[in-house]
Amino acid sequence: MRRDELNDPSAPETIRVKLAETPGEWIGLVAVRLSVFCDEQGVPVTGELDEHDRSAVHAVAMIVGSDEVPAGVAVTRQGAALRASAQAGRYLPMSLAGARGGHKDDGRTAHAIGGARLVRRLEGVAQIGRVAVLPAWRGTGLGGRLVRLLEEVALARGSTRVMIHAQVQAKAFYDRLGYVVDGAGDIFLEDGIPHVRMMKPLSMDM
């Protein structure tokens, strides 16, 4: 699929960015996270999946309109799908537990190509994290769409600010989305990767 077909409703395959609603979608986005953070960046699985996944709101980007597994997803699944299936059940979000076996979910892993999560932190502050997009779809604006969707969810749930622990190499990406470095901008390590804390105020006008 070409990048200029990403938002073309007449294309045989299109990208949909939405909140995860089924265990199959959850497994698909876990496969993306394991591929990006564990396989590419060396983060241990025990550091990638955590207790916050159970209470978080998760956004997923999926290829829809085709039963065939897209090439970029197939490559990811070779390295991550079995681990995703094994690990995802332990961290299945509580909001999706009732969808297990429901009419929306036929048990198949979704053709996920990106994902992100939203966790509520302090009063009025939410945190977006685990923003990941598979290599074949980077540079298409998909990461921004995932972040924007979760910002809207955070605002609707009463948050006034969003915090992100941004990898230093991704700082320019968050700059473009309106985030600014918080405080002194000290760099810290998470899972051995340099990060900087960034913030963004939320409003209906954003």
- Report the number of secondary-structure helices (H) and strands (E) in the chain: 7, 8
Residue 194's Cα: distance from chain center in Å?
19
Per the document, the length of the chain is: 206
Instruction: Tell me the three state secondary structure of residue 73.
Output: helix
Q: Burial, 154: exposed, middle or buried (Cβ in 10 Å; 0-12, 13-18, 19+)?
A: buried
Per-residue model confidence (pLDDT) at position 180:
97
Per-residue model confidence (pLDDT) at position 92:
84
Query: End-to-end alpha-carbon separation of the chain, Å?
Result: 31
pLDDT in tens, 111-140: 899 999 999 888 889 999 999 999 999 999
Residue 15's Cα: distance from chain center in Å?
14
Mean pLDDT calculated for residue range 182-198: 93
Q: Which residues contact 78 (CB under 8 A, 6 or more apart)?
A: none
Q: Which residues contact 165 (CB under 8 A, 6 or more apart)?
A: 127, 129, 190, 195, 196, 197, 198
Q: Which residue has the higher pLDDT, 59 or 39?
A: 59
pTM over 0.85: no
pLDDT in tens, 141-180: 999 999 999 999 999 999 999 999 999 999 999 999 999 9
Report CA-CA distances (Å) from 68 to 65, 156, 178: 9, 36, 37
Percentage, residues of the chain above pLDDT 90: 50
Per-residue model confidence (pLDDT) at position 8:
42
Helices 71-88 and 23-33 sit at what angle, rounded to 10 degrees? 110
Q: How confident is the model at residue 79 (pLDDT cuts 50, 70, 90)?
A: low
Per-residue model confidence (pLDDT) at position 20:
94
Report CA-CA distances (Å) from 161 to 75, 126, 143, 176, 192: 37, 6, 19, 17, 27
